[in-house]
Structure 1
Amino acid sequence: MSHAVSRLRAQRLARAVKPFVARGSRALRCPGCRVIPAYCLCAWRPTVAAKSAVCLLMYDVEPLKPTNTGWLIADVIEETHAFGWSRTEVDAGLPALLNDPQWQPYIVFPGEFVAPERVVTEVKLEHGKRPLFVLLDATWSEARKMFRKSPYLDHLPVLSLESEQISRYRLRRSKRDDHFCTAEVAALCLELANDQAAGSVLDAYLDVFTAHYLGAKHLLPINLEDESHAYLKAFI
């Protein structure tokens, strides 16, 4: 099934000057979940309703990485938008989305790096509007660059997450445990917006993806009866 991230990936591949070579790239991967077929998790893709939406602003080759978790967000949250980031060019669809009156956008970023008057820690909606969470899908150093060099985001309130949760993501480890992967950030945002079911499903789906990906990498058996798989059964 095509979604915003898979379409962005196809666009990025189409304009690539040379092939993108990811770790383990010699292995044949399922086009739906980016894991080798023997460990495919497409059958575990959940369906859950959410009133919130997500806008992924993705740094250069991020859509091409098989470990990218923005893909998981688009799998779970139907109203997911994805745009490639460039310092000099802006997709016309991005400001149009941010200015659409049905949405109340928040740029998600640590408040310690932002002017205090822009920072919020709660999701408060005007009447009739739905939350739109703008996530910078990149490494931490890339995300800081994107935040500084994207003036079209300067008018948005900055949602600063204050969770004490320790990151569980094990595929690309940050040097700091409080740096969440993109799917973890999205799940926390959904919980703040009272989309608890969607947030919990996304959390479980991230755990299932991680188990299948690492299982494929190390040729280990997958426990299909563990807590995360069991939780997703009600949503597939």
Structure 2
Amino acid sequence: MMVAAAPHAVARLRTTRLAASAKPFLARGSGGGRCEGCRLVVSHCICALKPRVRTGAGVCLIMGDIEALKPSNTGWLVADVVSDTFAFGWSRTAVDPGLLAVLCDPQWQAYLVFPGEFAAPGRVVTEVASGRSGQGKRPLFVLLDGTWSEARKMFRKSPYLDALPVLSLHPDVVSNYRLRRSSRDDHFCTSEVAALCLALAGENHASDSLAAYLDVFTEHYLSAKRSVKLDPESEAHQRLRSMVVAPPL
């Protein structure tokens, strides 16, 4: 008998947020019904391709008010892939005690991932310790998951984050994200940022798996949205299947 996997952190946050809503949240294109596991319309479900990777690193998502409700949110993909993913809603006036507990957990060295230009120079770092060395703390990447204006507000108005080192990423690639528009050309979606952080921590299989999973998710999402035929043998599909079927030892 197969036992269904327990909901991950973003799924649980979504359930909590829906329960607190005064009216149902209905995403565009939901008329045909959406899969509870991947949030795509049922005909384009990718649950069978979902990778799950053990890593020495973790991810902590601090999410804008309705981010967990959006089918296009890629923080959900991070929680699909990275076993140690935490997710909390953000509020200017209150902080979830569970978030504070995670940030204070002695197994983790938390890094607030944000452009270094917005932080005092003494807080900014560009490197992290590997989570697989067996020595010292494991890296925990704290990502502010929301629109750019939301993320800036979270950064400025979350005093409990002020003591964390700010990890400033300087990737030599450009974003391939196609599901939402950004006001800045150098912006990456949450899933892309998490993949960059994992690579920085030496978690290359997890980073590559997450990147491939995002590409497949994007193909399925846009295929359903635009009523375009899906190619299940595309390069992205083949790349992801190879990672799911034969991960490194």
TM (norm. structure 1) is 0.97
Correspondence 1:44 to 2:49 = yes
* Residue range with higher mean Cα deviation, 21-30 or 55-64: 21-30
1:134 counterpart (137, 142, 152): 142
Q: Which letter does structure 1 place at the counterpart of 2:218?
A: T
Alignment of 1:70-109 (within 5 A): 70-109=75-114
Correspondence 1:226 to 2:229 = no
Q: Which letter does structure 1 place at the counterpart of 2:107?
A: Q
Which residue is 1:154 aligned to? 162
CA–CA separation in structure 2 for the residues paired with 1:30 and 1:124: 37
**TM-fit CA distance, 1:74:** 0.4
CA–CA separation in structure 2 for the residues paired with 1:233 and 1:23: 29
Correspondence 1:217 to 2:222 = no
Which residue is 1:121 aligned to? 126
CA–CA separation in structure 2 for the residues paired with 1:25 and 1:132: 34
Tell me the secondary structure at the aligned position of residue 117 of structure 1: helix
CA–CA separation in structure 2 for the residues paired with 1:9 and 1:19: 12
After superposition, give the CA deviation of every residue in 1:142-195 in whole Å (9 maximum; x if it has no partner).
000000000000000000000131111101121322100000000000000000
Any unmatched runs of 5+ in structure 1? none
Correspondence 1:208 to 2:194 = no
CA–CA separation in structure 2 for the residues paired with 1:62 and 1:30: 17
1:174 counterpart (150, 171, 182): 182
Q: Which letter does structure 1 place at the counterpart of 2:125?
A: V
CA–CA separation in structure 2 for the residues paired with 1:223 and 1:139: 30
Instruction: Provide the identity percentage.
Output: 64
**TM-fit CA distance, 1:125:** 6.1
Determine if contact 1:104/1:125 at 8 Å carries over to the other structure: no
1:33 counterpart (38, 53, 65): 38
Any unmatched runs of 5+ in structure 2? none
1:184 counterpart (172, 192, 198): 192
CA–CA separation in structure 2 for the residues paired with 1:65 and 1:27: 16
**TM-fit CA distance, 1:17:** 1.2
Q: Which letter does structure 1 place at the counterpart of 2:21?
A: A
CA–CA separation in structure 2 for the residues paired with 1:152 and 1:205: 32
- Considering only aligned residues, what root-mean-square deviation do their CA atoms show, in Å? 1.3
Alignment of 1:56-71 (within 5 A): 56-71=61-76
* Residue range with higher mean Cα deviation, 165-174 or 137-146: 165-174
**TM-fit CA distance, 1:225:** 1.7
Q: Which letter does structure 1 place at the counterpart of 2:147?
A: T
Tell me the secondary structure at the aligned position of residue 231 of structure 2: coil
CA–CA separation in structure 2 for the residues paired with 1:175 and 1:45: 30
CA–CA separation in structure 2 for the residues paired with 1:135 and 1:77: 14
* Residue range with higher mean Cα deviation, 207-216 or 32-41: 32-41
Correspondence 1:14 to 2:19 = yes
TM (norm. structure 2) is 0.92
